[in-house]
Structure 1
Amino acid sequence: MPDPGERGLRADARRNRARVLEVAIEAFAAEGLAVPVHEIARRAGVGTGTVSRHFPTKESLFQAIVSARVERLVTQARTIEAEHDPADAFFAFFEVMAAAGALDRGLADALIGAGFDIDAAAAATGYDLNEHFHRLLTAAQNAGAVRGDVDFADVKALLAGCLARERDTADPAARDRLIAIVRAGLRPTAQPASQPSAGDTENR
């Protein structure tokens, strides 16, 4: 999909903008959102003013990057919803989100609300990531696969925990273990078989 930000730009300006985006994508993915704009400019071989002309704020720079990320995640959510039973679709997409955040520290920062409002960014793209994630949660609850007392804020907090665990250890096995714990914790608690009362026992 053509980048809307390139429309009307001269060829050299388009090259600069594309180079800044390329470097920013790599930097944010590897190091998170804390990478300063002047460092991105240095790595791209342009001046800070050049970056600012294309992206007046750091948020606008990440907005340009996150749009494609959000679009891809929404597409995956739709595919999972179409191909999986509601009881499994929510957990499958939870794992997709955790894996995406593990590969891209900038996206992980955004998903846990560290320095960037991904909800606003998603709304601006026309791809509502939360709406799809929330729908998968509701469908799983209606199917009896997820506890009814869990709300979307709980799910986001659990996802943040998985992403933080990945960052602390850089160990995929640790993330997988934590996701398994999340799965077990979100499943409805089995009701224990009713035990006969003392009176019932005496009357037998």
Structure 2
Amino acid sequence: MRADARRNYEQLLAVASVVVTEEGADASLRDIARRAGVGLGTMYRHFPTREALFEALLRTGFDELAAKAGDLETAGSAGDALVSWLREFVACAHNYRGVIDSMVAAIEDPDSALHASCTTMKAAGARLLDRAQAEGSARGDIDGTDLYALGGALAWVGDQPALASRVDRLFALIAEAILIRQPTRP
């Protein structure tokens, strides 16, 4: 990629990150291009669809989540590692209001620009869940799809102004429902 094209790409991503965080997934692509100082044609050359822009925005966060899961696979308590990762997943998914619908749809659509990133991230969470189940600290009747859905649901709740204040409480309830309490020894 030419240096000026690379600069435009990076500027579009930086501006899109701010605009989508502020305005949500329905943010105007025309506004993003204008604020980035490029024409709409340049925007569409780099990101032919809204989904392609979301994929580029989310890829970094999802890659970080996958790497974090790798680190957590060998760290301390498997249950604590799972809850820590789930909390970060919810925060990452919530960073860009309204994108959770695209993330959920992308899992089922291999042609989606978001599919690979979402699948990799979902698999990383599933590995942490498997480890916690093997250790006996997580319920055995849930799977990676359930975990992804629960994280997505919490991110969606955070997108709802009337419910956003309840996210931490609901997160605690869901974490408690996933984990199995080990009896304390006398």
TM-score by length of 2: 0.79
Question: 1:23 maps to what in 2?
Answer: 15
The offset of 1:49, in angstroms, is 0.8
In structure 1, the gaps of 5 or more residues are 1-6, 191-204
Please tell me whether the aligned partners of residues 55 and 114 of structure 2 are also in contact (alpha carbons under 8 angstroms): no
Question: 1:136 maps to what in 2?
Answer: 128
Question: 1:195 maps to what in 2?
Answer: none
The offset of 1:104, in angstroms, is 3.4
Please tell me whether the aligned partners of residues 15 and 36 of structure 2 are also in contact (alpha carbons under 8 angstroms): yes
TM-score by length of 1: 0.73
CA offsets 1:81-120 (integer angstroms, 9 cap, x no match): 2323223211121111112233332664544448x95762
The offset of 1:181, in angstroms, is 0.5
Letter in 2 for 1:150: I
Across the aligned residues of Structure 1 and Structure 2, the Cα RMSD in angstroms comes to 3.0
Question: 1:199 maps to what in 2?
Answer: none
* Cα distance change on mapping 1:87 and 1:18 into 2, 3 Å: closer
Aligned residues: 179
* Cα distance change on mapping 1:71 and 1:189 into 2, 3 Å: closer
The offset of 1:133, in angstroms, is 0.7
The offset of 1:40, in angstroms, is 1.4
The offset of 1:60, in angstroms, is 2.4
Report whether the alignment pairs 1:165 with 2:157: yes
Report whether the alignment pairs 1:100 with 2:92: yes
In structure 2, the gaps of 5 or more residues are none
Identity of aligned residues (%): 33
Please tell me whether the aligned partners of residues 32 and 109 of structure 1 are also in contact (alpha carbons under 8 angstroms): no
Give 1 or 2 for the bigger CA radius of gyration: 1
